[in-house]
């Protein structure tokens, strides 16, 4: 498994990006490699069985750290890409090396923003009528070997997730994103902070009533840590 992407690698890419004015060079399939690693970590966590054991929680925390690094890297690079696109729309000189090292999804974003900004400038500054069509942003992600892809989890507060469908429009929806049964339980004993398989964090106290994924809820109830509450219409 030496070919799997690691947090230390992603941390290095992020630091380089933050310390560099121009875009830095990253592997063409980096985003796909990260998705594959997120999927692998999720599968490992499921394979261990008990979602509350230390091994599962360590894997889920590693997965969340990896996800945060790729989101931060995406945000850093996107700000630079937007600046380049606006410069092009304003007729300024563009560093061709930065265009060359954009990965395929980033280059598609750059072109879409530049084209839209150019059309807007012509309409507002030059009085030229804008076309009735809008720029469609679409691309096919680069292949990352045979490793499966994994999408980012939904998180409305995340800048990267607000654009995830743009970066990976053809991604597969796996079990992590699929609808899953939840159970409403009432907690009877304190439960130390933990994550569920979707990445949500919990710290439960006696008397708390919470909706939890069915497998985790059943474990707490079987251990007499919580009571299952059946909701009636």
For residue 125, what is the domain's CATH number?
Answer: 1.20.58.1030
Going residue by residue through the chain, which has 233 residues, state the pLDDT in tens, using 9 for 90 and above: 457 888 999 999 999 999 999 999 999 999 999 999 999 999 999 898 888 898 999 999 999 999 999 999 999 999 999 999 999 999 999 899 999 999 989 999 999 999 988 888 888 888 876 654 455 444 455 555 444 333 333 332 333 344 434 433 333 333 333 335 888 888 988 988 888 888 888 889 988 888 888 888 888 998 998 888 876 55
Q: Which domain holds residue 82?
A: 7-167
Residue 2 belongs to a domain: no
39 shares its domain with 67? yes
Residue 67 belongs to a domain: yes
Going from the C-alpha of 175 to that of each of 64, 128, 160, 172, the distances in angstroms are 17, 49, 21, 10
State both tokens at 169. Answer: 């429009």
CATH number of the structural domain spanning residue 203: 3.40.5
190 shares its domain with 86? no
Contact yes or no for 161/152 (Cβ under 8 A): yes
- Burial class of residue 16 (count of CB atoms within 10 Å of its CB; 0-12, 13-18, 19+): middle
69-94 pLDDT, tens digit per residue, is 999 999 999 999 999 999 999 999 98
To the question of pTM greater than 0.75 for the whole model, the response is no
User: From the CB of residue 5, how many other CB atoms can be counted at a distance below 10 Å?
Assistant: 24
């Amino acid at each position: 498994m030496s070919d799997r992407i690691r947090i230390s690698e992603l941390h290095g890419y992020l630091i380089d990006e933050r310390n560099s004015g121009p875009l830095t060079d990253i592997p063409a399939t980096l985003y796909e490699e990260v998705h594959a690693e997120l999927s692998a970590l999720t599968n490992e966590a499921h394979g261990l069985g008990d979602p509350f054991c230390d091994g599962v929680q360590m894997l889920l925390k590693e997965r969340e750290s990896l996800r945060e690094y790729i989101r931060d890297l995406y945000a850093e690079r996107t700000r630079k890409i937007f600046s380049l696109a606006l410069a092009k729309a304003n007729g300024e000189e563009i560093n061709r090396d930065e265009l060359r090292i954009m990965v395929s999804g980033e280059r598609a974003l750059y072109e879409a923003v530049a084209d839209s900004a150019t059309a807007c400038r012509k309409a507002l500054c030059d009085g030229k009528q804008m076309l009735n069509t809008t720029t469609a942003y679409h691309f096919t992600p680069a292949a990352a070997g045979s490793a499966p892809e994994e999408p980012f989890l939904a998180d409305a507060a995340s800048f990267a997730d607000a654009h995830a469908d743009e970066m990976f429009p053809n991604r597969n929806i796996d079990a992590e994103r699929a609808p899953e049964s939840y159970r409403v339980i009432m907690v009877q004993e304190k439960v130390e902070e933990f994550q569920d398989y979707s990445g949500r964090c919990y710290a439960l106290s006696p008397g708390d009533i919470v909706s939890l994924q069915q497998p985790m809820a059943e474990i707490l109830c079987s251990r007499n840590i919580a009571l299952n509450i059946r909701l009636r219409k």
